Every structure is written in structure tokens, then in C-alpha cells.
Amino acid sequence: MKRLPILLLLLLFPLVSSAQTVLNGLIMEENPDGKDMGLSGANVFWLDTSIGTVTDLDGAFSIPYKEEYSKLVISYVGYKTDTLTVSTNKPVKHWLKSNASLDEVVLKSRRKASSRSFIEAQNVINVSSAELLKAACCNLSESFETNPSIDVNFADAITGTRQIKMLGLTSPYTLITTENVPSIRGAAQAYGLSFIPGTWVESIQITKGAGSVVNGFESIAGQINAELQKPTTDDRIFVNAYGAANGRFELNTHLNTNVTEKWSTGLYLHGNMRDEKFDDNNDSFLDMPLARQINVMNRWQYTNGEKGFVSFLNFRYLNDEKQIGQINFDPDTDKGTTNAWGGEIDTQRIDISAKLGYVNPEVPYESMGLQLAYSNHDQESYFGLREYNIVHNSFYGNGLFNSIIGDSRHKFKTGLSATYDDYKELVEDTNYDRTENSVGGFFEYSYDNLSDLTVTAGLRLDVHNLLGTFVTPRIHALYKPWDKSAFRASIGRGKRSANIFTENQGLFSTSRNIVILNTGGEIYGLEPEIAWNYGVSYLQGFDLFGRRADVTLDFYRTDFQNQVVVDWEQTNEVRFYNLKGDSFANSFQIEFNYNVFERFDIRTAYKFYDVETQYASEKLEKPLTPKHRIFGNVSYETSLKTNGAHWKFDATYNWLGEQRFSNNSIRDYSPTVATVNAQVTKVFSSKFELYLGGENITNVKQDNPIVSSDNPFGPNFDTSFVYGPIFGSSYYAGLRFKI
């Protein structure tokens, strides 16, 4: 009975809030002192509507407000037109910039940093550049720390590599693309995410569940696409410097310029290094590797709006060096000896890609695209006495045509793609060489009834020299029965060859023997992996106490028909074999987002994973995968001053339930882990900002992450039992400068 009044109150709130139907505000002329100088006669209107008004003598205005309006456009002759994003009808105060000022900045008071789509059939989460700034450091692998759909953890206790998981499955099961070209795959699987600097990324799209057939047959758990900065939209000059108390330094520079009216180019330079040795847990091993990276990208963009052409050319060179192992290890004298345990991982990579897009200016629904990409990835490394080298040459081509059938309710995409991958691997004393190639065709039809239903059905047929000839179906549906709702369902199949060594590089930093049980297959003797993914999702937006909120419920199941089982259950062995029996991953997520008050947002999520595999011995839950996870993020921004100055505050909380250890003699399950990260940014103007942050500020550490660290050449040495942070709290500071 006590709850009833609250319920009634809740029911009443929308009524009360809908009664306030006017947005009041004040438009002023920008001046250096920040004084209120009202601008009379400015036009104020809601974007895409005919609802508008004009400011009075004092610059004040009053405009009808409805919740569905979100973009308020303010324009006045001689001033720059600004578009404000408005989420409630709180009074607006805005300064218009005179056209005479050279500063090309459009003030956007509020943009949701991370959002789920209400209009796409696939379950896509868009992560904007504003969200990416919340994790100030440093590369793509760390960009997901404020996102509940992706889990980030350390791959091992030695290399400092972060591994991502989606729907409870490791990153090889997720297709990772840059600008829709598969990029982090093959030899780049282990460290590839750390080869894309964070500042290069403009936005990220995360698709849960089976993705589109357009990008290939490999994705199983989902797709992650990173859009990179583009010469025409990025800042003309951008500089970012970062330094952390844990000895890591980074420098990013972007230079963008228009060469001609149609051609622009951008040069993106990244360097990072850590040359200070830390061993805070006194196990004689470096807590983080020594590292040095140089990463250079040059992009050329051609835009011809009249003829409908857009084209990109990219060139990239990467050199990355890491030194791992014991603190007194010296590569010059100790390599290949048992003086001290250590290793080096040196990677060089070249990427060349070209994209051509054409939209028929006469018929805007007709478009064509061509993507070509070549990469050469060369990793030379040793881990103690174990050597591992891989060279991967890869070619990718995809041609795409979009049009309609009859009218724009029926759209289709069709095209052809080709891949070529050549691997040369040296694993200790054994050479593994393999060449894969495939040619495929795809067709994707999508139906949109223009109001509440969208269905996308795709099919592709591929002829692959090792995987055979096979069909990949994928279906997505979106249904919006009432306001602000979105029901989604998806089914899809994926198939891939597992690169067992590069995907499990942590095994080299153990004393475990490598055992491959099967010999009949084409890929290391093993069969290709095949899985089906099924998912349902429900998103509902609503008003809570007059503020925007939304809740999402997701359930996904991945069922493996065949899998390359990575079995750590035997002492002193890591075994690979074809799945016999069941292997599945169930993932349930509930997410709640709420805009508590102006510029203050909270995001919370709970996740439940049930990932089980039939091992040779018995059916077991996947090691080092917590069943329960809790995620929380709060962010607050102060209001913008005339010159764009404001403060930003952000904190993220992560809690992981206990995780199963495989054949660990000491204990079966890890303790639970809770970590907190926080960051403060002071924006001085649209040109300059400083940030300061702390990672793992409660200083949570895993005790003895390395098993048998006192005897690294002995039979029990193992660095794979990582369930939590190895390094304690660490603080960092950085700056961003842009023109």
C-alpha cells in the first residue's frame, strides 16, 4: 500500500511535465567580457519543423516546446548559425558569435555521448568522440572502459595487453573493422587494438549479435567498427600530450589541410613510450612492459558533391617494440639464456587502403562503393626460451551496390568480395604456413514500412579454399509498437578459422606444452569454427521525474557447432582440439540510463554470463569469465561559458564476480574485484583543455599474478591466471590543443 502513492506520483509526473509547453531563453551577442548583451531580432526555430520565433528587444524569446523537439536553431544575419541540443524545457542562454570572428566553432550545448539507436534494425550502440574522451588513454583497447556492452580485461600478467570480450566471448569472435574494412584479425588479433591510437578514432559503432553480411562471414558475437578522423572534419591542428605516473608517455599530432577544393589530406602522428621499470608487487617481474611505438597515418580525401563522389586513400606505418619479463633481464646478454626470464615483441605493420563511394546525384537512393585494403603484419618475438614469429600478408576487396526495389520501403545491398591471407608462423621449432583465399557474393534486403517495422535479411555465399563453400544467413528485425520503444531480434551464422597461436599468445609466457590433438583438419590440423547467434533486445525510453531515461534488456545466445577448444585444464599443458559436444555462451544484460538533472548523467548495467564448453574431461564453465558483472558510470559537465569553457567530471565503477581458475592448485575461484576510474577535464576554451585522472583509484591488486615467479624456467611457471589489476592505482594528466 505504501508504494501506491509513489506510483500515483510517478503517473502524474508526465502530465505535469507535458503541461509545461514553452521554452524560454535569452540570445546574446558574444563579447569578450561575457556580459549579457541581448540580441533582438534573432531567429529561433526547431530544426525540421515550422515552429519558430524571433527574439524581442532584450534578446528574450519564448517558443512552444514538445518533447520530440531536440534541436534548436538560432540564426541571425551577420552571426554564425548555431544548433543547440535541448533535452528539457529549462531556460536557454546562448551567445551568438559574429561572422567576423575567424573561429569556426559551432557550440553544441549537449550531445549524448553514447546512445543506442531507435531506428536501426541491428542492435547498434554508437560511441561518439565525446564518450571516447572519457577514457583519456590511449588506444582503441581502452576506449571501451566506459561502455557496459564490452568487457575489457588483461590478457596475461606479462604483456599488459588488454583483451576485450563481447557476449562473454573473446575478441576473435567479434569482427573488428576500421571504416568497415576488417582490420584487427589474423596476426593483429592479440595486440591490434593497441595499434589504433585513441585520438585517431572519431566514433565507434558496436553491433551486438550477428552483424550484416556485407562485411563478411567471420563475425559471431558482434561487430565493432571504428570510424577514423577525416581530413575535412578533423581539427586543422590537433595536439594531445599525455603522461602517467606509471611511466607512460604519449604524443599525438594531427595536421589537416585542404590541398585543392576537392582534395584534402591529413597527417596523423602517434608516439608512445614507457622506459621506466616498475615492480610494485616485488615478484621480480615488470608489472607493465617497457614499450615504444611509432605510428604514422596519412589520409587523402577527395570529395565531389556535385558528381556524388567521395574517396579516401590511407597509408599507415607502425613500429611497436615491447620488452617483458624480469626486471633484471637485459636482452643483449640474457636472450636465449636462463640468466633471467624475459622477452621482446617487435611488430611492424604497413596498411594501404582505398575507398571509393558514389551516390547518384539524380537518384539519391542509388549508391556504389568499393573498398580495397592491403596489410603486411610482421611480428618477431620471444618469451623466455620460446620463440614466436608471424608474418601475415592480407588483401581485402569489397564492391557494393545499394538501390531500391520498386520504392524506398524496399532497399537492397548487393556485391562481391574477395579475401587473401597468407600466414607464415614459427612456433618454437615448428613452421606453420597457410594461405587462405575466398571469393563471395552477398545480397541484403531490407524492408521498412515507414512507421513501426524494419526487417533486414541478408545472405552470402562464399567459396573458400580451406573453409569450403558455404552460405551465411543473417536476419534482423526491429518493431516499435509504441512511443520510444524498440524490440529487436536477430539470428545469424558465422564461420572462421582460428589462429590458435596468435589468439592465445599468453600461452608462450607459461611453461605449458602445446598439444594439438587433431590432425585431420586444414588449419593446424583443426576444423573451422562455426556458430549461430540468436538475440532479442528491448529498449524503452521514458520520462522519470520529467527527465529522460531509458532501459535496455538484452539476451543473446551463441551456439557453437564446431569450436577450437582451448583447454587449460591439464597441468603443464594447453591443448587445442575440435569441439565434441556442447559449447555455448548465454549473455543477459540490463542497462539503465538516466539524465538526473541538466548535464548530469548516470549509466548502470548488470550482466550475467553463462559460458560453458564441453572439454575432453568434462563440461565446464569458461575460465576467467565472471558470471556476474556490475557497471556504473556518472558524468557531469558545468554549463558552457561564452568562450566554451567548462568542467567535465567522469567516474566509472566496475565490479566482477568470482571467476573460475583452470587447474589452479591453490584455489578454484578468484575473489571478486571492484575498480574505480575517475577523470576531471578543464576546458579553458574551444582551443585548449587539460585533464587529470586516476585509474584504479582504490588501489585494488591481484596478489601474485604470476605463478611460480621465483622459478620462471621451472615446470609450473604461468602468467595466465589474471582476474584483476596487476598495477595498483595510477594517475595521469594530459592536454589537448586544437585550432
Partner 1 sequence: MKKAIAIIVLMFVGTVMVGQNKNAKATLDVDGVCMMCKERIEKAAIKTKGVKSAVWNVETHELSIIYDERKADLAAINQSIADVGHDTKEIKATDEAYNSVHPCCLYRDEDVQKDHN
Interface residues toward partner 1, by CB under 8 A: 48-52, 64, 68, 362-365, 404, 406-409, 450-451
Q: Which is nearer to partner 1, 48 or 433 (CB)?
A: 48
Our CB check for partner 1 shows the closer of 51 and 602 to be 51
Query: Residue 81: which of 62, 112, 51, 105 has the closest Cα?
Result: 105
Q: How far is the CB of 699 from partner 1 (least distance, A)?
A: 52
For 135, phi then psi, to 5°, come to: -105, 95
Nearer to partner 1, 33 or 407 (CB): 407
CA–CA dist 730, 693 (Å, integer): 9
DSSP state of 101: S
Least Å distance between CB 407 and partner 1?
Answer: 5
C-alpha distances in Å from residue 380, one per residue of 160, 272, 475, 502, 505: 17, 20, 41, 12, 12
Least distance (Å) between residue 401 CB and partner 1: 16
Shortest separation between residue 29's beta carbon and partner 1, angstroms = 26
Task: For the CB of residue 459, give the shortest distance to partner 1 in the complex, in Å.
Answer: 24
The least CB distance from residue 87 to partner 1, in Å, is 18
Identity of the residue, 409 or 580, whose beta carbon is nearer to partner 1 in the bound complex: 409
The residue among 55 and 662 lying less far from partner 1, judged by its C-beta, is 55
Around Cβ 451, how many Cβ atoms within 10 Å? 7
Under DSSP, is residue 508 helix (H, G, I), strand (E, B) or coil? helix
Closest to partner 1 by CB, 24 vs 233, is 24
CA distance 390 to 606: 39
CA distance 77 to 98: 9
To partner 1, the closest distance from the beta carbon of 406 in angstroms equals 7
Closest approach, Cβ 73 to partner 1, in A, equals 11
Question: CA 582, 585, 588 angle in degrees (round to 5)?
Answer: 145
Q: Any residues with CB less than 8 A from the CB of 283 and at least 6 apart, and which? A: 704, 705, 706, 709
The residue whose grid cell reads 557474393 is: 441
In the numeric block, which cell numbers belong to residue 690? 587539460
Nearest to 642 by CA among 13, 31, 10: 31
Looking at residue 79, its amino acid is: Y
Q: How far apart are alpha carbons 368 and 345 in whole angstroms?
A: 41
CB of 47 to partner 1, least distance (A): 10
Report DSSP letters for 258-280, one per residue: ESSSSEEEEEEEEEEEE-----T
User: What is the Cα Rg of the chain in Å?
Assistant: 27
The backbone region for 697, taken as left when phi is positive above 0, alpha when psi lies in -120 to 50, beta otherwise, is: alpha
Neighbours of 6 (CB within 10 A): 9
Q: Which residue lies nearer to partner 1 by CB, 48 or 621?
A: 48
Minimum CB distance to partner 1, residue 77 (Å): 18
Residue 451 C-beta: closest distance to partner 1, Å = 6
Least separation in angstroms between CB 54 and partner 1: 11
301 near 263, Cβ under 8 Å? yes
Nearer to partner 1 (CB atom), residue 366 or residue 598: 366
CB of 366 to partner 1, least distance (A): 9
Longest dimension (CA), the chain: 84
Q: For residues 247 and 291, what is the distance between their CA atoms, to the nearest angstrom? A: 10
Cβ closer to partner 1: 46 or 382?
Answer: 46
- If the CB atoms of residues 432 and 445 are measured against partner 1, the closer one turns out to be 445
Q: Which is nearer to partner 1, 263 or 447 (CB)?
A: 447
Closest approach, Cβ 452 to partner 1, in A, equals 11
Give dist(CA 551, CA 116) in Å, integer.
10
Best CA proximity match to 25, nearest among 51, 57, 59: 59
Q: How far is the CB of 44 from partner 1 (least distance, A)?
A: 12
Smaller CB distance to partner 1: residue 403 or 604?
Answer: 403
| Buried-exposed string 165-195: b where 16+ CB fall within 10 A, e elsewhere | bbbbbbbbbbbbbbbbbbbbbbbbbbbbbbb
207 contacts 116 by C-beta, under 8 angstroms: no
The H or E element spanning position 228 is strand 222-228
CB of 476 to partner 1, least distance (A): 22
Query: Residue 64 or 397: which CB sits closer to partner 1?
Result: 64
Residue 60 or 269: the one with the smaller Cβ distance to partner 1 is 60
Q: Which is nearer to partner 1, 43 or 298 (CB)?
A: 43
Minimum CB distance to partner 1 smaller for 409 or for 641? 409
Which residues in 305-385 belong to E strands, given as ranges? Answer: 309-325, 342-359, 367-383
Instruction: Tell me the helix, strand and coil percentages in the chain, rounded to 5.
Output: 5, 55, 35
| Nearest distance, CB of residue 50 and partner 1, angstroms | 5
Q: Give, in order, the Cα–Cα distances in Å from 524 to each of 231, 411, 434, 577.
A: 43, 42, 9, 10
- If the CB atoms of residues 21 and 233 are measured against partner 1, the closer one turns out to be 21
CA distance 671 to 649: 30
**Rounded Cα gap, residues 142 and 129, in angstroms:** 14
